[in-house]
Structure 1
Amino acid sequence: MKHTTVLISGASIAGPALAFWLARYGCDVTVVERAPALRPGGQAVDFKGATHRTVLERMGLLDDVLARQTGGHDQTIVDANGKALAVIPGEFTGGEIEITRGDLSALLYDKTAARCEYVFGDSVTSLTEVGEKVHVTFASGAPRTFDIVVGADGIHSNVRRLAFGPEADYVKFLGHYYALVGLPDDGDAVMYNEPGRMVAFGGPKSPAFLVFRSPELRYDRYDPEAAKAIIRTAYRGGKWRIPELLDGLDGADDVYLDSISRSEVPAYAKGRVVLLGDAAYGNTLGGFGTGLAVVGAYVLAGELKAAGGDHRAAFAAYEAAFRGYAKVSKQGSAGPFLAPGSRSRIALRNWMFRSSWLLGLMLKMTDKFATGIDLKRY
């Protein structure tokens, strides 16, 4: 593995987690990120169970993550008058350990920046295998060659598009959108539903969180004004604090909108290019994306080490070891659960949280999914 050159596209969670292990194993790692800098803030993400905890321990990150955890909080479901209808317990919403995505991203960057090259404000524009290398061109930087290229650049992966084909061939839209709106609220975490739409406020460092049912939309994902226009249309006429949300959109310091979709690739690798995280097996918003990214990075890097850098053997072993674990991303979308399509379905969802037996069953299923892989010692 020594001096194997690896390009990782994406500097959120999966990319830096992989960079951590590959640098430890002697690779020369470059991480390229389209954004001009690390993205701060964002929604809370979580880790569940012994498998996730073990990987964090082996990275030497567990204490740092625990020191920055938000302390999973209960969330109260309310009606239009603010009356409590049910409580979603913190262990369900936040797993065992909860941390904001921005804080986790910063921790991973701090652990890798001294040993890896980070290039912000740039992106890959072409990938061409030439002999035992991949020739890569960039939007801004000069062309370079690498032994391996990794797409850790999310559900709308640029690397997957360039190496595998159009996004429409590998991403399935699941009927809902979600949005994060930078309107921090230091109050208690509360959530409100109307048929086909949900809005939540409150919780540590949390932006407003929205989920709504919609046909598939065409818009510029990098244009916050386009996102605001879609949110205004989706939430027009809403009750409770929805008018407050819509009034605050213009002054919101950060607005992010994306579909709830699922990556469906027949194989994680093609030639010397391999996919990791949401690019390969996300993003249904079901609470497993971060765990899959961090565990997947551990397995992919470990198999490359075990194979002595032989990418064919390593990618095949990564797929064999991980695809069964990643099937949790195919269990369904969080959209209908968070934003049920009728008042009767909203009432049924709320009743589930008032049933200790059903809640216990859901938590047991979550634990089973999170620990469903045997971690090798690489």
Structure 2
Amino acid sequence: MKNRSVLVSGASIAGPTLAYWLSRYGFDVTVVERAPALRPGGQAVDFKGAVHRTVLERMGVYDEICRRSTGATDMVLVDAHGNERARISGDFTGGDVEILRGDLAAILYEAGAGHCAYRFGDSISTLRETEGGIEVEFENGPAGNFDLVFGADGIHSRVRRLAFGPDEHFVRHRGYYYAIAGEPPHREQSDGPRRRESYAHNDAGRLAVGSGAKAQQMYLFAAPEMHFTDEAEKRRVLTEKFTGMGWQVPEMLAELPVLDDFYLDALARVRMPSYVAGRVALVGDSAYGNTLAGFGTGLAVVGAYVLAGELAASEGEHIVAFARYDRIMRRYAKVGLGSSPGPFLAPKTTYGLWLRDRFLGSRWFGLMEKFAGDAKDDLDLSGYPAWEAR
């Protein structure tokens, strides 16, 4: 098989999944991750439909994901006095199985770590394509030569910048920012997943989500594109944006300075004319990311499976495999590249809030749920099981 030595950048969701399948198909796989270790915690992510489940079952991780699942969480939208005004069902937001991002990353890593080389605390600094491969230099470790390089390093992908061009060519700000602070809710192993509720309060252009003292907080707010210097400035801006809001928001803001695991970023969408360039291919959020749209995790896992499968089918002939991967995923990824969740979760006007609440209780919302589920299953995986046995 040609193109045996490959480098994967990113060890979150798409990266470990791609590494697992490539190593299973006989490639020599190295994964580089800039974080010093796997990142725990994070928000809940989900899978929904037969296509997602098929890939996870073939990888042998579906049962463990179910065992460590959080259960569905209904979002209860309340007014300034805590009275329920609308509800978003966890069956819609959480899919068939929901799990914390950190738990999922650990499961995917453990599935393939014994057959791949992982380099934590490092990242790619330069890529130089040659006639027979790619010369790669790293920030900390020794340089190396690889046949292929894969960017699975998120919506602000360094591999994409090096191989395709700067972020501004491909990443589109959606007019909103979101923030997460604090540890995720405790998962109760003994009782299995339970249905939970989180509580959220809106006013025009702002949404605050919390579920009690020292619990994980989430914020969403409308704002033009901003540039931050450090985390302290991000916390200051977030506090300013939500000062004066009712419900429990003042108490949440008072607690914010002592909460760890803080993250703030723009809602953004990646639009690529192609996911491949020479000997480089993008997968997951680096290729078709759309923040908080609800499809990213499934797309990452399915895209990694398709990319590895096409390479195996072509005996490592990357030109053929990359063309097929690009064509398949450009069609399938459309399910996750539609509208932004910002205007739906945090409408910018009081009238918009009223319309959103009415819509949540209507039959049209049920039709939207059905369409989303059908779209996630619009992919034929029947050709891939034969390659799994190699």
Shorter-chain TM-score bucket reads over 0.9
Deviations 1:229-248, CA, capped at 9 Å, x for gaps = 22112212111111112111
Using the alignment, how far apart are the partners of 2:184 and 2:18 within structure 1? 31
Cα distance 1:362–1:206, how it changes in 2: closer, same or farther (>3 A)? farther
Q: Which amino acid aligns with 1:306?
A: A
Cα deviation for residue 3 of structure 1 reads 7.4
1:42 aligned onto 2:42? yes
Aligned to 2:247, the other structure's residue is in SS state coil
Cα distance 1:5–1:227, how it changes in 2: closer, same or farther (>3 A)? same
Using the alignment, how far apart are the partners of 1:349 and 1:56 within structure 2? 34
Using the alignment, how far apart are the partners of 2:246 and 2:185 within structure 1? 18
Q: Identical aligned pairs, as a percentage?
A: 52
Q: Which amino acid aligns with 2:239?
A: R
Using the alignment, how far apart are the partners of 2:2 and 2:321 within structure 1? 15
Cα deviation for residue 185 of structure 1 reads 6.3
Do the aligned partners of 2:3 and 2:316 also contact (CA within 8 Å) in 1? no
**How many aligned positions are there?**
374
Using the alignment, how far apart are the partners of 1:91 and 1:247 within structure 2? 32
Do the aligned partners of 2:48 and 2:373 also contact (CA within 8 Å) in 1? yes
Aligned to 1:262, the other structure's residue is in SS state strand
Cα deviation for residue 267 of structure 1 reads 0.6
1:367 aligned onto 2:376? no
Aligned to 2:216: 207
1:337 pairs with one of 324, 327, 344? 344
After superposition, residues 215-364 of structure 1 pair within 5 angstroms as 215-220=224-229, 223-355=230-362, 357-364=363-370
Deviates more, 1:31-40 or 1:368-377: 368-377
Aligned to 2:90: 90
Using the alignment, how far apart are the partners of 2:344 and 2:83 within structure 1? 20
After superposition, residues 17-32 of structure 1 pair within 5 angstroms as 17-32=17-32
Aligned to 1:303, the other structure's residue is in SS state helix
Do the aligned partners of 1:227 and 1:255 also contact (CA within 8 Å) in 2? no
* TM-score of the superposed pair, with normalisation by structure 2: 0.93
Cα deviation for residue 184 of structure 1 reads 5.3
Cα deviation for residue 359 of structure 1 reads 2.5
Cα deviation for residue 326 of structure 1 reads 0.3
Using the alignment, how far apart are the partners of 1:184 and 1:149 within structure 2? 33
Aligned to 2:168, the other structure's residue is in SS state helix
* TM-score of the superposed pair, with normalisation by structure 1: 0.96
Cα deviation for residue 152 of structure 1 reads 0.3
Aligned to 1:274, the other structure's residue is in SS state strand
Do the aligned partners of 1:46 and 1:97 also contact (CA within 8 Å) in 2? yes
Deviations 1:267-310, CA, capped at 9 Å, x for gaps = 10110011001101112311000000000000000000011101
Cα deviation for residue 97 of structure 1 reads 0.8
Q: Which amino acid aligns with 2:250?
A: P
Using the alignment, how far apart are the partners of 1:311 and 1:226 within structure 2? 44
Which structure 2 segments of 5+ residues have no match?
A: 187-195
Q: Which amino acid aligns with 1:364?
A: K
Q: Which amino acid aligns with 1:322?
A: M
Do the aligned partners of 1:44 and 1:206 also contact (CA within 8 Å) in 2? no
Aligned to 2:168: 168
Using the alignment, how far apart are the partners of 2:61 and 2:243 within structure 1? 43
Cα deviation for residue 148 of structure 1 reads 0.5
Q: Which amino acid aligns with 1:79?
A: D
After superposition, residues 61-140 of structure 1 pair within 5 angstroms as 61-140=61-140
Q: Which amino acid aligns with 1:76?
A: V
Do the aligned partners of 1:3 and 1:28 also contact (CA within 8 Å) in 2? no
Deviations 1:96-123, CA, capped at 9 Å, x for gaps = 1100100000001111111111111111
Which structure 1 segments of 5+ residues have no match?
A: none
Do the aligned partners of 1:195 and 1:340 also contact (CA within 8 Å) in 2? yes
Do the aligned partners of 2:3 and 2:317 also contact (CA within 8 Å) in 1? no
Deviations 1:32-75, CA, capped at 9 Å, x for gaps = 11111111000000001111011111111110011011111222
Using the alignment, how far apart are the partners of 2:239 and 2:80 within structure 1? 18
Q: Which runs of 4+ in 1 moved over 2 A?
A: 183-188
Cα deviation for residue 183 of structure 1 reads 5.7
Q: Which amino acid aligns with 1:131?
A: E
Using the alignment, how far apart are the partners of 2:269 and 2:144 within structure 1? 31
Do the aligned partners of 2:294 and 2:336 also contact (CA within 8 Å) in 1? no
Using the alignment, how far apart are the partners of 1:239 and 1:226 within structure 2? 23
1:197 aligned onto 2:206? yes
Do the aligned partners of 1:43 and 1:101 also contact (CA within 8 Å) in 2? yes
Cα deviation for residue 2 of structure 1 reads 7.4
Deviations 1:206-263, CA, capped at 9 Å, x for gaps = 721111100001114xx32232122112212111111112111210111001111111
Do the aligned partners of 1:284 and 1:329 also contact (CA within 8 Å) in 2? no
